[in-house]
Structure 1
């Protein structure tokens, strides 16, 4: 096992290669990297040109787009990580893409990328990632497939996927529980509204009827209905 090509270097030692088919983005990334006072920045429009130049003079870090024609950034990563590409196979690769979806990030990191940045990337974010990269001591290991990869990356990604699945399950449970609670509250509220519409009954007489009549009339109404009032009850 061996460390990647940028491990232990200072920012001023970095020889960076940028692979980007957008001219404006090339200019932005070059300007940002030069503001960090890196030793060298080489910019290429295509994977083929970048690969040829990198094989002749391996850089310390590669920044590449994901979607490019005719060769994509992912294909470039796989080419670089093959054991026959040594010493280029040890160069860390950072993707700078406008399509930073979770499946893309998972695919890139499992294939040997060191990080994925989403456009538009700020100078401070790129600087932090590069500083992190210079101290990233995870070794590169040769897999049975014949490609180099970051040691332990699959285990790390599997653990993260498990946490995300657990979190998704917890969110689903909370959503279902909240929905059931809302249904129960609606049912209870509807029941109370129905009872309020019928009016509460006191001794066989609706409360509204009692209030609407004089007290004596109300008492007669109760007697006529066959219910006793308090005065009718004799204590023994």
Structure 2
């Protein structure tokens, strides 16, 4: 951790302070904070960091837009930069967009220091290869297929369970299936297993 150069991007100054303080407790050597993604991107193109922690909802450039910009082949070597989202909006849609877009991890605020440390260590040991898409963007190889298989598995379980069930029971079963899928992702993430492809952590 001592040799890391970490960029933190969040439009909320209190969150910047929390993340900076937490990273300092890990003895991270260099921490650069930015209020916006555009400013951070300009700085990173001149002086690339080792890792990025960024919020999701920001203006004028969102975290997703930043991810898409960085992952372009023409941004090399920045396009291979490890990117972790730290967001309060941990919906299924946000998580899927982040992972399909090439993010290594998604952490849900508030994040405990021990959890952040674990995910940083996991990311530094992450040896998954990048895959170049037809549109010139890099993503984590095989991620889209794994997400699709996971979604089909959840849908199949829900379909089997609610055959012949009433509408109200069907809704309950669908909610249960979605909750079960989220629990599986969370347990896998907390295990610290480097084979985990659904690294989503909620600590509140």
TM-score (norm. length: structure 1): 0.68
- Could you tell me how far 1:175 is from its partner in structure 2? 5.1
1:124/1:175 Cα in 2 relative to 1: closer, same or farther (>3 Å)?
Answer: farther
Question: Per-residue CA shift, 1:135-190, capped at 9, x if unaligned?
Answer: 111011211110011111111111111122123224434855x97xxxxxxxxxxx
| CA RMSD of superposed structures (Å) | 1.8
Aligned partner (choices 164, 168, 172) of residue 162 of structure 2: 172
Distance 1:40 1:175 in 2: 57
Q: Computing the radius of gyration over CA atoms, which structure comes out larger, 1 or 2?
A: 1
Q: Which runs of 5+ in 2 are unaligned?
A: 170-204
- Could you tell me how far 1:134 is from its partner in structure 2? 1.2
Distance 1:138 1:100 in 2: 23
- Which portions of structure 1, spanning 4 or more consecutive aligned residues, are displaced by more than 3 angstroms? 173-176
Aligned partner (choices 10, 19, 23) of residue 33 of structure 1: 23
Question: Per-residue CA shift, 1:69-122, capped at 9, x if unaligned?
Answer: 111110000000011111110001111111100111011100111111111111
1:1-236 matches, within 5 Å, as: 11-173=1-163, 176=166
Distance 1:44 1:174 in 2: 54
Distance 1:40 1:164 in 2: 42
* 3-state SS of 1:42 partner: strand
Question: Per-residue CA shift, 1:211-233, capped at 9, x if unaligned?
Answer: xxxxxxxxxxxxxxxxxxxxxxx
Q: Which runs of 5+ in 1 are unaligned?
A: 1-10, 180-236
1:174/1:88 Cα in 2 relative to 1: closer, same or farther (>3 Å)?
Answer: farther
